[in-house]
Chains A and B, each alone.
Chain A
Amino acid sequence: MNNWVLICVLLMLMALAYQFGLARSRSVAGQGAARMHSRPGYYGLLVALWCGLPALAVFLLWTLFEPGIIRSVVLNQLPPDLAGLQGNELEVLLRRIEQIASGFGVSDQPAAFELAAAERMRSLQNTGRLAMIASMAVLCVAGLVWTLRRIDPQLRARNQVESVFQALLVISSTIAILTTIGIVLSMVGEALHFFRFVNPAEFFFGTVWNPRFSTTGAADQGQFGLLPLLWGTLMVSIIALLVAVPAGLMTAVYMAEYAPAWLRAVAKPVIEVLAGVPTIVYGFFALITVGPFFSVLGQTVGIDIRATSALTAGVVMGIMIIPFVSSLSDDIITQVPRAMRDGSLGLGATKSETVRKVVLPAALPGIVGAFLLAASRAIGETMIVVLAAGNSPILHANPFEAVSTVTVTIVNQLTGDTDFASPQSLVAFALGLTLFVITLSLNIVALYIVRKYREQYE
């Protein structure tokens, strides 16, 4: 029986259990003198949950741990001369055995001991599977019967169902949080690894980025100065914000204050669709349209503008985050109470005076928060800069020249042949961690400001 079938059967059993619970609670209610504590549906749900959840838990734990256990059993029974196998070779051997066991087979002729091991593995798997299904069935029935018998007017089915749902929600959010923590920890681990090769001071304050290739030998491992990349990121982000902030803010003001209802109903979704355009498409747009345009423009006014430059990447990235800025600011501007506008209009202010002198100042903290969120978005953006910034990690202040950013460098260091023991690859983790810390702090500050602003009017 395949896993999906198993789950489906379980779900059907739960539906059945629900009906049983419903029927049982009705009959109890029919004969009993006391009033039932909860509505029949809750008894049904409770029975269904007790029938399904324990079995489901067994299923999950089993599928999680069974392969490991079987592997170690099989390993223990391998011929003694193979006991010394380590690392990769062991991994390869196990994979071969697994493939033979699954009936998939291997390309060459398997050795006798491999066939024997595969046979053992298959039988273990079969027994394990049967045992699992059996225990699930037992739990199912036990849960069903036990809960059905507990149904009586005093049983607080509603409260119990409520706590089960609460537990499910807590588990889901815990998973999300644990994943984040896991990501951070693994990055920290690898970054520390990197700092065994390169002095942190050299990394954080170095002005030259020239990592060499790992193949050129360990004697000269190159220079890993973060500053040129950080500067590139900063320059591109600033250009992006210079484009996005005025345009986004004015869009938001128009949408929130001036646009008639029908136009808002049409334009807001359109703007939000812009936010859904994949960034690679913007990258293309930058590379093919905007870059050449700037370069031609530069020629006509007599400035040397590279087609792939900080300017190109920044401007296109700015266009990309306009919807982000505008929809966030729009929300915040519409949150400014109507009473505030009425007060100003009632004093004889025009609409634009009201917007400039009352609405925007009142919304300012929230708007600043929106800008910071947009900035952290720009700093973390990758695809556009990969394509359009020119990838030249050199410290200079000319926005018309090519630059490189932290994100682009991470991509560069991790594409192609990577050897995760060399500083050339490990540096990606240090860079990622730096980026993570920067955007995280920007986000925290932004959320703090936005929240503070919300409190003001609630």
Chain B
Amino acid sequence: MEDTVMRATLVNAEKFVGVANGALKMAARDVRVFYGESEALHGVDLDIYENEVLAFIGPSGCGKSTFLRCLNRMNDTIDGCRVTGRIELDGEDIYDRSLDVVLLRARVGMVFQKPNPFPKSIYENIAYGPRLHGLASGRAELDDIVERSLQRAGLWEEVKDRLEQPGTGLSGGQQQRLCIARAIAVSPEVILMDEPCSALDPIATAKVEQLITELSETYTIVIVTHNMQQAARVSRRTAFFHLGNLVEVDDTTKIFTSPSDGRTEDYITGRFG
């Protein structure tokens, strides 16, 4: 029975398109992910528009992280993980053989659930990406990138006097903003965030949320969250995943007030998940 419901939503996939007004940034069509033999995502179609904040919600294990990792091919690093279907970035297939993963990941950056600064100095943490991609031609330019990234991440005032100290010595919230700054430093176009606030306290969370809102002026942001309020606060559109299916995606206000699928309503009102 559930299967027919799912099929019905997939048939209506077109209705996902066109709700947003920016240009199309990324598009996923019939994306399936297999971990070994088991299929974790059962054909996801989703469009992501420029400069929007798109939130992924859904019960644990429904495939939010899995789909997010497809978007910059981080799934390639997992043994036995296989992705089928098509994902485009600016009209280009990112799973195409001719595409360089390294460049893709520079364009589609990622912030992880647990802050993961490198065991290096704060400065080196930020400078890491620009150095890899040769974004700075000299020390002065690098200094400049580091400062700008930290400023954008709202961390500059707190760390400007201790750039040489290890990044691991910062508080959890500061570490997460450091990781965001690190991602920004390579000037990506899309930033993927997998539950970026789940290890943070409410104040640090508020700071990161404000940061996300500011960043959305420049970047396209996709954020996974278990916190409905957070999704409501930061995102313009929300996608609801359930058991490896994308159930529906719509304006955040619509999802939270009058979802079109019963499962979404059940989840939002706390009946499962």
Contact = CB atoms under 8 A, between A and B. Distances in A.
Interface of A: 260-261, 337, 339-350, 353, 357-358, 361-362, 456
Contact of A348 (B112, B179, B186): B186
Contacts of A353: 132
A350 to B, nearest CB: 6
B74 A339 contact: no
B128 A339 contact: no
Nearest to B100: A348
A348 B102 CA distance: 4
B66 interface: no
A347 B109 contact: yes
5 contacts: A337-B116, A343-B116, A346-B72, A347-B106, A350-B102
B182 interface: yes
B120 A342 contact: no
A346 B79 contact: no
Contacts of B117: 343
Interface of B: 72, 74, 77, 79, 102-106, 109-110, 112, 114, 116-120, 128-129, 132-133, 179, 182-183, 186
The 6 closest A-B pairs by CB, nearest first: A348-B106, A346-B110, A339-B116, A348-B105, A347-B129, A343-B116
Given A346-B74, A348-B186, A357 B128 contact: yes
Contact of B132 (A342, A347, A361): A347
Nearest to A365: B119
B142 to A, nearest CB: 15
Contact of A346 (B112, B114, B133): B112
Nearest to B182: A347
A348 B120 CA distance: 18
Nearest to A349: B132
B119 A346 contact: no
A349 B79 CA distance: 18
A261 B132 contact: no
Given A340-B118, A358-B118, A347 B128 contact: yes
Given A342-B77, A342-B112, A357-B128, 13 more contacts: A260-B79, A342-B74, A344-B128, A345-B74, A345-B105, A346-B105, A346-B183, A347-B109, A347-B128, A347-B129, A348-B186, A349-B102, A358-B118
B133 to A, nearest CB: 6
Contacts of A350: 102
Contact of A343 (B102, B103, B112, B132): B112
Contact of B118 (A261, A348, A362, A456): A362
A3 B109 CA distance: 74
Contacts of A349: 102, 128-129, 132
A270 to B, nearest CB: 21
Given A342-B77, A343-B112, A343-B179, A348 B119 contact: no
B32 to A, nearest CB: 22
Contacts of B119: 340, 361-362, 456
Contacts of B120: 361
B103 to A, nearest CB: 7
B109 A346 contact: yes
Nearest to B168: A456
A358 B116 CA distance: 12
A110 to B, nearest CB: 78
A190 B249 CA distance: 83
**Which of B72, B102, B112, B182 has its CB near the most chain A CB atoms (within 10 A)?**
B102
A176 to B, nearest CB: 36
B116 A340 contact: yes
A347 B125 CA distance: 11
A348 B77 contact: no
A261 B114 CA distance: 26
A261 to B, nearest CB: 6
Contacts of B110: 342, 346
Contacts of A456: 119
A342 B116 contact: yes
A403 B45 CA distance: 73
A339 B105 contact: no
A420 B89 CA distance: 83
Nearest to A345: B77
A109 to B, nearest CB: 81
A124 B58 CA distance: 86
A456 B133 CA distance: 29
Nearest to B115: A339
B77 A347 contact: no
A261 B105 CA distance: 25
Nearest to A363: B119
A260 B80 CA distance: 10
Contacts of A357: 128
B56 to A, nearest CB: 17
A126 B82 CA distance: 79
B79 A347 contact: no
A345 B77 CA distance: 9
Nearest to B192: A346
A339 B105 CA distance: 16
B118 A343 contact: yes
